[in-house]
Amino acid sequence: MTDDLAQLEQLPTKELRERAVALARHRWDARFFWRLLRSLPAAEASVGHLEHSDATVAQASGLFQEAFAAESDPAVQEALRPIYIDYLTAHSAQDSGPEA
């Protein structure tokens, strides 16, 4: 199944997140997860979570656990929506998708 941009734009953010994360897990795509981690401070700031927006590389080891908890916040997921769409459009045509 090939996801095209128009179809992906119609999906709820939660579905985009689930698809992108499942595909990245299937592909063992650490770059995608690293991109999410790098994007979290800006996403959190964009939704008013300013106390989290100053995360640095020096804090990364402790941030992994916290970051994925923050990424589960629906408002933060909404801010990360372009990343989910970009990842799915770039990689869905290459893969048949995550195994069920």
Global pTM value: 0.58
Specify the number of domains making up the chain.
1
Of 93 and 48, more confident = 48
Residue 100 inside a domain? The answer is: no
pLDDT, average across residues 23-48: 86
Residue 21 inside a domain? The answer is: yes
Residue 99 inside a domain? The answer is: no
Q: How far is Cα 57 from Cα 71, in angstroms, rounded to an integer?
A: 17
Residue 22 inside a domain? The answer is: yes
Domain range for 51 is 5-91
In the chain, the N- to C-terminal Cα span, in Å, equals 14
The per-residue pLDDT for range 39-88, each reduced to its tens digit, is: 887 887 888 876 665 554 446 556 666 666 777 788 888 888 898 899 89
Work out the pLDDT band at 1, boundaries 50, 70, 90: very low
Helix (H) / strand (E) containing 10: helix 5-10
Residue 39 inside a domain? The answer is: yes
